Amino acid sequence: MKVAITAISGSMDSQLEQRFGRAEFFIIADLESGEYEVIDNKAASETGGAGIQAGQTIINSGVVALITGNVGPNSMRVLNSGNIKMFRGQKDTIEKNIELYKEGKLEEIVDSVASHFGMR
Amino acid sequence: MKQVVFISGKGGTGKSTVVASLAKYVNNKVLADCDVDAPNLHILLENDIIAKEDFIGAKEAYIDKDKCIECGKCREVCRYDAISSDYVVNSIKCEGCNACTLVCPVDAITLNEVKIGEIYDSKTKYGMFSHALLDIGSDGSGKIVTEVKKRAKEYVKGKDYTLVDGSPGIGCVVIASITGADAVVIVAEATKSGQSDLERVLKVAQHFGINSYVCINKYDLNTSVTKDITKFCTLNNVKVIGKIPFEPKIVKALQQFKTPMDDDDLKHIKDEIINMWNKLEREMN
Amino acid sequence: MKIAVLSGKGGTGKTTISASLAYSVENSQYIDCDVEEPNGNIFLKASFSEEEIVNVLVPRVNKDKCDGCGICAEVCQFNAIAVVNKDVLIFDEICHSCGACVIGCPQNAMYEVKRPLGVINSNSSHTFMQGKLNLNEPLTVPIINRLKDKMNKHGVVILDSAPGASCTVINTIEDCDYCILVTEPTPFGLHDLNIAVQLVQKIKLPFGVIINKAMDSDQTIQEYCANNNIEVLLELPYLKEIAKNYSKGILPVQFDSKWKEEFRKLFKKIEGSIS
Q: Does the beta carbon of C80 lie under 8 angstroms from any beta carbon of chain A?
A: yes
Interface touch B180/A50, C-beta < 8 Å = no
- Give me the mean pLDDT over the A1-29 stretch: 94
Specify whether B93 is located in the same domain as B213. Answer: no
- Give me the mean pLDDT over the C205-234 stretch: 94
Global ipTM: 0.86
Please check whether residue B120 lies inside any domain of the structure.
no
What are the domain boundaries of chain A? 2-108
Of C73, C80, C85, the CB nearest to A82: C85
Interface touch A53/C82, C-beta < 8 Å = yes
Specify whether C84 is located in the same domain as C6. Answer: no
Residues 43-102 of A with CB under 8 A from C: 43, 46-50, 52-53, 55-56, 59, 74, 77-78, 81-82
Q: Closest Cα of chain C to A67: distance in Å?
A: 19
Residue C100: the pLDDT is 97
Residue C136: the pLDDT is 67
Range of the domain at B90: 57-115
Testing the interface with A: which of B34, B202, B208 to mutate, by most A Cβ within 10 A? B208
Specify whether C86 is located in the same domain as C201. Answer: no
Specify whether B38 is located in the same domain as B61. Answer: no
pLDDT at C213 over 70: yes
Specify whether C38 is located in the same domain as C129. Answer: yes
Specify whether B71 is located in the same domain as B175. Answer: no
- Give me the mean pLDDT over the B102-122 stretch: 95
The torsion defined by the Cα of A56, A60, A66 and A71, in degrees rounded to 10, comes to: 0
Specify whether C15 is located in the same domain as C127. Answer: yes
**Tens digits of residue pLDDT in A30-39:** 999 999 999 9
Confidence of residue B122 (pLDDT cuts 50, 70, 90): very high
Testing the interface with A: which of B54, B95, B146 to mutate, by most A Cβ within 10 A? B146
Report percent pLDDT > 70 for chain C.
Answer: 99
Identify the residue with better confidence: B209 or C203. Answer: C203
Residue B170: the pLDDT is 67
CATH code, domain carrying C183: 3.40.50.300
**Tens digits of residue pLDDT in B186-226:** 999 888 777 877 887 887 787 777 899 999 998 988 899 99
Q: Does the beta carbon of C87 lie under 8 angstroms from any beta carbon of chain A?
A: yes
**Tens digits of residue pLDDT in B4-25:** 999 987 677 889 899 999 999 9
Please check whether residue B52 lies inside any domain of the structure.
no
Range of the domain at C65: 55-116
Specify whether C41 is located in the same domain as C59. Answer: no
Residues of C in contact with A55 (CB under 8 A): 82, 84
- Give me the mean pLDDT over the C204-219 stretch: 93
Q: Closest Cα of chain A to C149: distance in Å?
A: 26
Specify whether B31 is located in the same domain as B134. Answer: yes
Residue C89: the pLDDT is 97
pLDDT at B256 over 80: yes
Specify whether C136 is located in the same domain as C112. Answer: no
CATH code, domain carrying B13: 3.40.50.300
Of B13, B95, B190, the CB nearest to C98: B95
pLDDT at B38 over 80: no
Residue C270, burial from CB neighbour count under 10 angstroms (0-12, 13-18, 19+): buried
All chains having 3 or more CB pairs closer than 8 angstroms to chain A: B, C
In eight-state DSSP terms, residue C275 is -
pLDDT at C187 over 90: no
Residue A114: the pLDDT is 40
**Tens digits of residue pLDDT in B235-244:** 998 999 999 9
Strand spans (E) along C33-186:
50-61, 81-84, 87-90, 110-122, 128-133, 157-160, 178-183
Specify whether B273 is located in the same domain as B163. Answer: yes
Specify whether B111 is located in the same domain as B129. Answer: no
Rounded Cα–Cα distance for residues C161 and C5 (Å)? 6
Residue C3: the pLDDT is 97
What is the average pLDDT score of chain B? Answer: 91
CB atoms within 10 A of CB B68: 16
- Give me the mean pLDDT over the B67-76 stretch: 97
- Give me the mean pLDDT over the C142-159 stretch: 95
Residue B141: the pLDDT is 84
Residue A117: the pLDDT is 32
Decide which of C116, C143, C161 is a domain's last residue.
C116
**Tens digits of residue pLDDT in B154-174:** 999 999 999 999 987 767 788
All chains having 3 or more CB pairs closer than 8 angstroms to chain B: A, C
Identify the residue with better confidence: A114 or B59. Answer: B59
C-beta of residue A94 within 8 angstroms of C-beta of residue A11: yes
Residue C165: the pLDDT is 83
- Give me the mean pLDDT over the C140-148 stretch: 94
Decide which of C116, C136, C157 is a domain's last residue.
C116
Q: Closest Cα of chain C to A42: distance in Å?
A: 12
In eight-state DSSP terms, residue A70 is B
Residue B231: the pLDDT is 94
Decide which of C84, C100, C116 is a domain's last residue.
C116
Q: What is the total count of domains within chain B? A: 2
Specify whether B140 is located in the same domain as B215. Answer: yes
Q: What is the total count of domains within chain C? A: 2
- Give me the mean pLDDT over the C32-47 stretch: 90
Specify whether B279 is located in the same domain as B247. Answer: yes
All chains having 3 or more CB pairs closer than 8 angstroms to chain C: A, B
pLDDT at C143 over 90: yes
Interface touch B192/C249, C-beta < 8 Å = yes
pLDDT at C168 over 60: yes
Residue B44: the pLDDT is 87
DSSP-assigned beta bridge partners for residue B189: B217
Please check whether residue B51 lies inside any domain of the structure.
no
Q: Closest Cα of chain C to B154: distance in Å?
A: 27
Specify whether C136 is located in the same domain as C220. Answer: yes
Residue B191: the pLDDT is 80
Specify whether B185 is located in the same domain as B213. Answer: yes
Specify whether C267 is located in the same domain as C191. Answer: yes
Confidence of residue A115 (pLDDT cuts 50, 70, 90): very low
**Radius of gyration over every alpha carbon of chain C, rounded to an integer in angstroms:** 22
pLDDT at C209 over 90: yes
pLDDT at C134 over 90: no
Q: Closest Cα of chain C to B282: distance in Å?
A: 31
Closest-CA residue to C14 (of C172, C204, C225): C172
Quick check: pTM over 0.90?
no
- Give me the mean pLDDT over the A62-70 stretch: 94
Rounded Cα–Cα distance for residues C56 and C115 (Å)? 5
C44 half-sphere exposure, CB direction, 13 A CA radius: 30
Rounded Cα–Cα distance for residues C169 and C34 (Å)? 8
Specify whether C44 is located in the same domain as C9. Answer: yes
Specify whether B97 is located in the same domain as B135. Answer: no
Decide which of B88, B115, B142 is a domain's last residue.
B115
Residue A120: the pLDDT is 28
Mean pLDDT lowest among A95-109, C10-24, C96-110? C10-24
Would you say domain A2-108 falls under CATH 3.30.420.130? yes
Specify whether B214 is located in the same domain as B253. Answer: yes
pLDDT at B68 over 70: yes
